[in-house]
Amino acid sequence: MTRVAYVCADPGIPVFGTKGASVHIQEIVRAWRRRGAEVEVYAVRLGDVEHVPADLADLVVHHVPVGRVGSGSGAGDPGAAARREVAQRQAAVEIGRRVVAAAPDVVYERYSLFSGVLHLARRGLGAGVRTVLEVNAPLIDEQQRHRVLVDEAGSVDALRAQVGAADVVACVSERVAGWVRERTGVDQAARADQGTHGVQGACADQGVRAARVVVVPNGVNTRRIRAVTPDLAGDPVVVFVGTLKPWHGVEDLLEAAALAQRPWRLRVVGDGPQREAVEQAAARHGLVVELTGALAPEEVPAALEGALVAVAPYPASDDHYFSPLKVYEYGAAALPVVASRIGQIPAVVQDGVTGVLVPPSDPVALAAAVDALVADPDAARAMGAAARDLMEREHSWEHVLDATLAPLVSTPLASTHTSALHASAPHASARHTSLLPASSEPTSSTPASVAAPAAGGR
């Protein structure tokens, strides 16, 4: 059995919670377990441990919280920010120590600022461990733009060391992959490497060897989210799922609802800082909007039930680098998606087949597209069925993990790495079993437990 250490050292992302990133963690864990792997999670933030999904109740989570940083003058205080950065590094070092002590077959880490866990694992475990770095956002740039980043050089060094220690760097979009290449020089390393993939460069401080950078968009759990049945007894339901923040375009959605030429009901699943603005806009336009508030991932399928159309009205942006989970979840629910033609979305929503693409920040076009679908429920349901088929065929989380690990299968590393890919290899060690065979059921293990926090943590 392959033993996997899943690492998330990002204090903004709980293992258990309603955020899309939390969903992502849980689904990758499930995908590994369906392969028959034994997974343990190492994280700095647990989240809501009172509402752990039933199928993850036996998941072992090693909690290493980021230590207290003391008082400061506010979120923008450089002194407090510097202390937080140091505390994040310290927590990551402790996670790295625990991972090396556990000696798993695979270390799979979600990229976070200042973490060096993969680097520590490579240095401590050498060639015998497989390493995957999953990059979901240009975090250094985000931190500089939206928060406070004190030690930029240190954050870049950490990224370079992590990429240098990774067998595979899985990026959620081509824009993110380009950012990784630009920040680390991994392409130049690949050219210099000329096909040799030893671990020496990975073990050198801040070294960047020829890690395989692949683009792997998000996916969806088609077991958890099933096809819905539209409720056509009254006005059709149009649903939006997501955090109420400016980059989700909810304000454009409210304006589109006000411009609609056909009757439809709007259901907003989620919560966030823009909730008050949404309520005010609904009142101003005389709209009745169903606001469910934030829901746990297992509650989202029920919230989609009865809808006929789903929307992803992202506003215009030059920096739309992410892969929206909602678009995949809508498709799995057999809902046609009206979405902005921006970023990676046109690669997922097939215009006129599984949904309709509209210009971003265009409430008139958004209203017209929704109107057309609610006016023809049969066409809407046909698009939804096509979307469901596409999600099952190409975008399950099993497909995501397969694509992430594909470089390890298609172009194995040099002989300095012990292969963990082919169980039939006669000289394979007992610890390194195959990563390839999938299992239809999660592995059974000991009852749920949470490892003790690191000394000095809260």
The predicted-structure confidence for 193-207, as pLDDT tens digits, reads as follows 433 333 333 333 444
Task: Report the DSSP beta bridge partners of residue 267.
Answer: 239, 290
pLDDT band at 68 (very low <50, low <70, confident <90, very high): confident
Tokens of 435: 């990563």
- Length of the chain equals 458
Residue 449 has a pLDDT of 54
What lies within 8 Å, CB to CB, of 178 at 6+ separation is none
pLDDT band at 410 (very low <50, low <70, confident <90, very high): low
Nearest to 370 by CA among 242, 249, 238, 250: 238
With residue 406 as reference, give the H or E element that holds it: helix 397-410
Q: For 272-424, where are the E strands, in sequence order?
A: 289-293, 307-312, 337-340, 355-358
Q: For 151-205, where are the E strands, in sequence order?
A: 168-171
The tens digit of pLDDT for each residue in 144-172 reads 988 899 999 999 999 999 999 999 999 99
CATH architecture of structural domain 237-394? 3-Layer(aba) Sandwich (3.40)
Mean of pLDDT over the chain = 85
pLDDT at 407 over 70: yes
Q: In what order do the strands lie in the sheet with 289-293?
A: 289-293, 265-269, 237-241, 307-312, 337-340, 355-358
Nearest to 381 by CA among 442, 335, 316: 335
Nearest to 238 by CA among 186, 289, 167: 289
The tens digit of pLDDT for each residue in 318-353 reads 778 888 999 999 999 999 999 999 988 999 999 999
Phi and psi at residue 209, in whole multiples of 5°?
Answer: -95, -170
Helix, strand, or coil here: 377? helix
pLDDT band at 445 (very low <50, low <70, confident <90, very high): very low
pLDDT band at 186 (very low <50, low <70, confident <90, very high): confident
Residue 267 has a pLDDT of 97
Domain with CATH 3.40.50.2000 in the chain: 3-219+397-451, 237-394
pLDDT at 412 over 90: no
User: How far, rounded to the nearest angstrom, does the alpha carbon of residue 330 sit from its chain's CA centroid?
Assistant: 16
Task: Report the DSSP beta bridge partners of residue 268.
Answer: 240, 291
Tokens of 236: 């059709």
What lies within 8 Å, CB to CB, of 44 at 6+ separation is 8, 9, 10, 11, 63, 64, 65, 66, 88, 91, 92, 95
Q: For 115-172, where are the E strands, in sequence order?
A: 130-135, 168-171
pLDDT at 289 over 90: yes
Residue 441 has a pLDDT of 35
Higher-pLDDT residue of 127 and 239 is 239
Helix, strand, or coil here: 411? coil
What's the Cα-to-Cα distance from 436 to each of 58, 132, 191, 214, 406, rounded to whole Å? 23, 15, 29, 18, 9
What lies within 8 Å, CB to CB, of 19 at 6+ separation is 13, 243
Q: What is the mean pLDDT of residues 259-287?
A: 94
Q: Which pTM value belongs to this model?
A: 0.84
Higher-pLDDT residue of 452 and 448 is 448
The tens digit of pLDDT for each residue in 12-51 reads 999 998 888 999 999 999 999 999 999 999 999 999 888 8
The tens digit of pLDDT for each residue in 202-252 reads 333 444 455 699 999 999 999 999 999 999 999 999 999 998 988 889 999
What's the Cα-to-Cα distance from 100 to each of 167, 191, 408, rounded to whole Å? 17, 31, 21
pLDDT at 440 over 90: no
Strands 106-110 and 3-8: parallel
Q: What CATH fold (topology level) applies to the domain 3-219+397-451?
A: Rossmann fold (3.40.50)
Q: For 186-229, where are the E strands, in sequence order?
A: 212-215
pLDDT at 175 over 90: yes
